[in-house]
Copies of this chain bind each other. A is one copy, B any other.
Amino acid sequence: MTIRIGIVTVSDRASKGVYQDLGGPAIKDCLTEILSCSWEPAARLIPDEQARIEATLIELCDRDGCCLVVTTGGTGPALRDVTPEATEAVCDKILDGFGEQMRAVSLKVVPTAVLSRQIAGVRGKSLIVNLPGKPSAIRDCLLAVFPAIPYCIDLLEGPYLTTNETLVKAFRPKK
Contacts and interface: CB of A to CB of B under 8 A. Distances in A.
Chain A interface residue number, banded: 35 or more
Q: What's the dominant secondary structure at chain A's contact region?
A: helix
A111 interface: yes
Contacts of A98: 114
A119 B162 CA distance: 30
State the oligomeric state as a number of copies: 3
Interface of A: 76-78, 81, 85, 93-101, 103-104, 107, 110-117, 122, 127, 134, 145, 147-148, 151-152, 155-156, 171, 173
Given A95-B114, A100-B103, A112-B152, 19 more contacts: A76-B155, A77-B122, A77-B127, A77-B155, A81-B93, A85-B93, A93-B117, A96-B96, A96-B117, A97-B99, A97-B103, A97-B113, A97-B114, A101-B103, A110-B171, A111-B148, A112-B147, A115-B152, A134-B173
27 contacts: A76-B155, A77-B93, A77-B95, A77-B122, A77-B127, A77-B152, A77-B155, A78-B155, A78-B156, A93-B117, A95-B115, A96-B100, A96-B103, A97-B99, A97-B103, A97-B116, A100-B103, A101-B114, A110-B173, A111-B147, A112-B148, A112-B151, A112-B152, A114-B145, A114-B148, A115-B148, A134-B173
